[in-house]
Homo-oligomer: A and B are copies of this chain.
């Protein structure tokens, strides 16, 4: 059921599980976060509420202190939120407790529907990533502006320099743990089904690739720029090509031995 990527815990970069994937673990997890349009942010609203809650937010991995860090290096997760919103207030109030508000950030993306002989062995090709950490408000104006640019350009590449620029409230996650899961490949069925001619002759099996498709841009009523700018057309072309290529390539990645029947 997919491979599990382990985020280094604490200061050590030594991954103890799945050592053969250690070199790309951080990069894989950060890439899933950074290419997600929405992150799910979970926290406990307070002692009077028994339920954790989940807010959809925009966010991006990055390092203000070491802006040249690559995707596979330790990074923080910057979240965009209005200063008045509930999670921002909780982060502000628990900030006095030094550690910040304990939150979980998760995202997942379906890359394909895996149709096998029996419902039990149906599956998705997917990517998911989870981070645990303490949320803190970004208070420095310089870091706020930096984070806003990071997040804006993550939605549409290079959009920051093509718009009129001010800052706004940001939150930053100090990560203490993280994990990711990726499932790709073809169909995995139980031997009792694959060896049953009555079943295999009747049931189509295979994968339907799925991806995020960006359509034709629709100008606003007030728009005065007649030609759609290159930073938008190339963003759409690049993302559509990348998304489709990933989903289609994922189908053909060999399954691990334990899933081959």
Contacts and interface: CB of A to CB of B under 8 A. Distances in A.
29 contacts: A37-B110, A38-B124, A42-B52, A43-B52, A52-B52, A53-B106, A53-B130, A56-B108, A110-B212, A113-B155, A115-B159, A118-B163, A118-B164, A118-B165, A118-B166, A119-B149, A119-B163, A119-B166, A164-B199, A186-B218, A200-B222, A203-B225, A204-B223, A206-B217, A206-B218, A209-B214, A210-B214, A211-B213, A218-B252
Interface in A208-234: 208-225, 228-229, 232
Contacts of A228: 204, 206
Contacts of A52: 42-44, 52, 102-104
Interface stretch (A16-24, A60-68, A71-79, A187-195): A187-195
Interface of A: 37-38, 40, 42-44, 50-56, 58, 102-106, 108, 110, 113, 115-120, 122, 124, 126, 128, 130, 132-133, 148-149, 152, 155-156, 159-160, 162-166, 168, 177, 186-187, 189, 193-194, 196, 199-225, 228-229, 232, 236, 244, 247-248, 251-252
